Structure 1
């Protein structure tokens, strides 16, 4: 098993695990990490733009909501 394949399996596992918690914050954090791994996976496989772009955008959405939630909690 090479690094690209291992990265893909880690990303897939984190994606599935992200749907288990009931707390939205936990879901978003785990999903964000999965998206990061999928972006790395897309790069390692020779720049697969659909994988990189889709997971990059989903990761940005998750990050936006996490930062927004953090800002609301600090007010």
Structure 2
């Protein structure tokens, strides 16, 4: 039967959140949902020892947080 390792579900959820974030019209919502997806990808990447995935998504998290901070500061 079709069985998926539980950690793979984390990767699928992360992918879904990244895709959903790209449909947002609000840049703040986009960055928040994208950050959550990236956090899941960091977790996933560390567990499956895909360190480039974890490192790239950690960098994206920092970029998202920086721009969320800038957006909130300008309001």
> Normalising by structure 2, what TM-score?
0.89
Q: Tell me how many residue pairs correspond in the alignment.
A: 72
Shift, 1:3, TM fit: 2.5
Secondary structure of the 2:22 match is coil
Pairing partner for 2:7 from 4, 12, 27: 4
- The answer for the alignment partner of 2:45 in structure 1 is 42
Question: Segments of 4+ in structure 1 off by > 3 A?
Answer: none
Q: Does 1:14 align with 2:9?
A: no
* Offset from partner CA, 1:34-65 (integer Å, 9 cap, x none): 100000010111x2111011100011100110
RMSD: 0.9
Distance 1:63 1:2 in 2: 31
What residue ranges of structure 2 are gaps of 5+ in the alignment? none
- The answer for the alignment partner of 1:25 in structure 2 is 28
Distance 1:51 1:21 in 2: 23
